[in-house]
C-alpha cells in the first residue's frame, strides 16, 4: 500500500491536480513498459521474471548445499544486494548464516574467512559479466583459503553468471553447479532471478511465495498511478524530484528491512542518476534514526522526500509491567506498538513542517510481501526512468570504473586506466 497523502500540500509538494495531469504521462510510459516487456527488451525483461524464472533449476543447483552452516556470497552491487536483502529480511533462527563478500578490503576479507567454518560453508559466486575484478579476486582468495584448509572448494561452490566470461569458463572447467543470469536482466534488477534467489533457496525459504508476491505486483500494473501502487510511488517521487526533492530518504521501520534500504539505494541511484537528473537515495532506520537524521529531515534543506516503510503485521514483544510510576505508561504495551507509534509520530512530525512523506506499508516481512515489495520498487524505478527520459538500464559510470580498475592492474588496454594514470601524475 502506498499513501501519497503526505506529499499533497508539502514543500516541495505535488497537488492532486498535477498528479492527475501526470497520470497521462504515466499511461504513455506504461504502454512503453508493456511493449518492452512483450518484446523482452533489455531491462524491461526483468519485469517478466515472475513468469519466467525457473525455480526448480535454482533448487536443484543448490541442493548439495542445503545442509551448509554458512553461506558466503561473493559478488558486488546488483550481484550481492538482492541476495543480502532477502537473507536479512527472511532469516530464521535455524537458517545458515549468510555473509557477503563484496568489497576487496585486505583486512576484512581474511578476517571474515578465518571466522567461517569453511568445510561447512557454501560459496555462492555471482557475476553477470563474469569479469568484475572485485568478485573474481575475492573468489580466488576464498578458493585458496578453502584449499589451504583442506576443503575441496569445487564441492562447496555454486556459480551464477552469464553465458560467457571468466567465471563461466571457470565453472565449466571445474564442472561446478551453475545458474544463468537471464538475458536482458541488469544486475540491480536481478533479485527475482537466480542472482537473488539462490541464497534464499539454500536457506530453505519459499521461492514460490516470493514469486507469487512479485506476480501479484506485476498483475497490478495498469496505465494509471491511481490504480497501481508501484506507479504511484515512482510517479510521485519523479514529480517531487522535479520540484526540488532531489534526495529520497528510505526509512524502514524494521531491522529486517535495513538491507532493503541498501538495495533500494542502488536501484534508485544507478538506474536514475543520468544526464544531470536523478534523486539521491539515502538510508535510514526507524526508530534509530529518529535520534539522528530526523532533525535534518524536518528542519534542514527542503530537498528531501522521506519514504517511511513498515510491515503492518509484526510480532508484539510485550513490555513488562513496572511499579515505577514514570514508566507505567509503557507496561501493558509492546515493542511493536511503540515502533508503530514512532512510525506514525515521524510521519506526523514531518507533515507538520511540510516535508513530503510517502508511506509504504507491506503486510508483513514474509516471502510474499517481499516479492511484491521488490517487484513494486523495480516497477516504480522503471516508470520514473520513463518519465524522466533517462536510460534506466545502463550504468556507464560503473562500467568506466570497472574498466579503469582492470586496466590499472594490467588486465588489458583500457583508455579509462590511461585517464586515471594521467590524472594521478598531475598530483
Ligand atoms: O546493477 C549493475 O549492473 C551493477 O551493480 C552490477 O550488478 C555490478 O557491477 C556487478 O556486476 P557483475 O554482476 O557483472 O559482476
- The ipTM estimated for the assembled molecules is 0.98
pLDDT at position 396 is 83
Pocket test for ligand 1, best of 42, 43, 78 (most atoms within 8 A of CB): 78
Whether cis (ω within 30° of 0) applies to the bond prior to 287 is: yes
* Per-position b or e across 263-288, b if 16+ CB within 10 A of its CB: bbbbbbbbbbbbeebbbbbbbbbbbe
Q: Which H helix or E strand runs over 105? A: none
Specify whether the backbone of 191 is left (phi greater than 0), alpha (psi in -120 to 50) or beta. Answer: alpha
- Cβ of 330 less than 6 Å from ligand 1: no
pTM of the model: 0.95
Q: How is 64-90 classified by DSSP, letter by letter?
A: GGTT-SEEEEE--GGGTHHHHHHHHHH
pLDDT at position 305 is 98
C-alpha cell, 211: 514469486
270 is catalytic: yes
Question: Which is catalytic among the residues 30, 128, 270, 274?
Answer: 270
Do the beta carbons of residue 172 and residue 166 sit within 8 Å? no
40 is catalytic: no
Ligand 1 atom closest to Cα of residue 132: 15
CA of 296 to the centre of ligand 1 (A): 32
pLDDT, block means (10 residues), the chain with 427 residues: 94 95 98 98 98 97 94 98 98 93 97 97 97 95 97 97 93 96 96 98 97 98 97 98 97 98 98 97 96 95 97 93 85 92 96 96 98 98 98 87 83 84 76
- Cβ of 160 less than 6 Å from ligand 1: no
Amino acid at each position: 500500500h502506498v499513501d501519497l497523502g503526505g506529499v499533497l500540500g508539502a514543500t516541495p509538494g505535488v497537488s492532486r491536480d498535477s498528479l492527475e495531469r501526470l497520470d497521462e504521462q504515466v499511461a504513455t510510459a506504461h504502454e512503453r513498459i508493456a511493449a518492452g516487456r512483450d518484446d523482452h527488451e533489455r531491462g524491461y525483461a526483468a519485469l517478466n521474471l515472475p513468469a519466467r524464472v525457473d525455480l526448480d533449476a535454482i533448487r536443484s543447483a543448490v541442493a548439495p548445499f542445503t545442509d551448509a552452516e554458512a553461506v558466503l556470497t561473493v559478488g558486488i552491487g546488483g550481484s550481492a544486494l538482492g541476495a543480502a536483502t532477502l537473507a536479512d529480511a527472511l532469516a530464521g533462527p535455524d537458517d545458515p548464516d549468510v555473509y557477503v563478500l563484496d568489497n576487496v578490503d585486505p583486512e576484512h576479507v581474511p578476517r571474515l574467512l578465518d571466522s567461517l567454518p569453511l568445510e561447512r560453508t557454501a560459496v555462492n559466486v555471482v557475476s553477470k559479466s563474469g569479469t568484475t575484478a572485485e568478485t573474481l579476486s575475492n573468489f580466488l582468495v576464498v578458493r585458496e583459503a578453502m584449499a589451504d584448509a583442506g576443503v575441496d572448494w569445487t564441492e562447496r561452490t555454486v556459480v551464477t553468471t552469464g553465458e560467457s566470461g571468466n567465471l563461466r569458463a571457470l565453472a565449466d572447467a571445474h564442472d561446478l553447479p551453475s545458474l544463468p543470469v537471464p538475458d536482458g536482466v541488469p544486475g540491480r534488477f536481478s533479485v527475482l532471478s537466480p542472482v537473488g534467489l539462490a541464497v534464499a533457496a539454500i536457506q530453505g525459504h519459499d521461492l514460490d511465495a516470493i514469486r507469487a508476491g512479485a506476480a501479484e505486483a506485476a498483475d497490478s500494473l495498469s496505465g494509471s498511478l491511481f490504480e497501481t501502487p508501484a506507479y504511484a510511488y515512482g510517479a510521485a517521487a519523479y514529480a517531487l524530484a522535479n520540484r526540488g526533492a532531489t534526495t529520497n530518504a528510505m526509512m524502514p521501520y524494521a531491522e529486517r528491512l535495513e538491507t532493503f534500504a541498501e538495495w533500494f539505494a542502488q536501484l534508485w541511484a544507478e538506474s536514475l542518476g543520468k544526464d544531470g537528473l536523478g534523486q539521491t537515495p539515502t538510508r535510514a532506520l526507524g526508530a534509530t534514526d529518529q535520534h539522528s537524521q530526523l532533525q535534518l529531515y524536518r528542519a534542514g534543506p527542503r530537498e528531501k522526500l522521506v519514504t517511511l516503510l513498515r510491515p503492518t503485521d509484526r510480532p508484539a514483544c510485550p513490555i513488562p509491567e513496572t511499579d515505577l510510576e514514570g514508566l507505567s505508561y509503557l507496561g501493558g504495551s509492546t515493542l511493536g506498538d511503540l515502533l508503530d507509534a514512532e512510525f506514525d509520530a515521524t510521519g506526523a512530525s514531518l507533515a507538520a513542517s511540510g516535508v513530503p512523506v510517502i508511506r509504504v506499508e507491506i503486510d508483513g516481512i514474509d516471502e510474499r510481501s517481499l516479492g511484491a515489495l521488490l517487484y513494486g520498487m523495480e516497477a516504480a524505478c522503471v516508470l520514473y526512468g520513463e518519465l524522466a527520459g533517462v536510460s534506466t538500464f545502463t550504468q556507464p559510470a560503473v562500467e568506466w570504473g570497472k574498466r579503469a580498475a582492470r586496466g590499472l592492474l594490467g588486465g588489458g588496454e583500457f583508455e579509462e586506466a590511461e585517464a586515471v594514470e594521467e590524472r594521478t601524475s598531475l598530483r
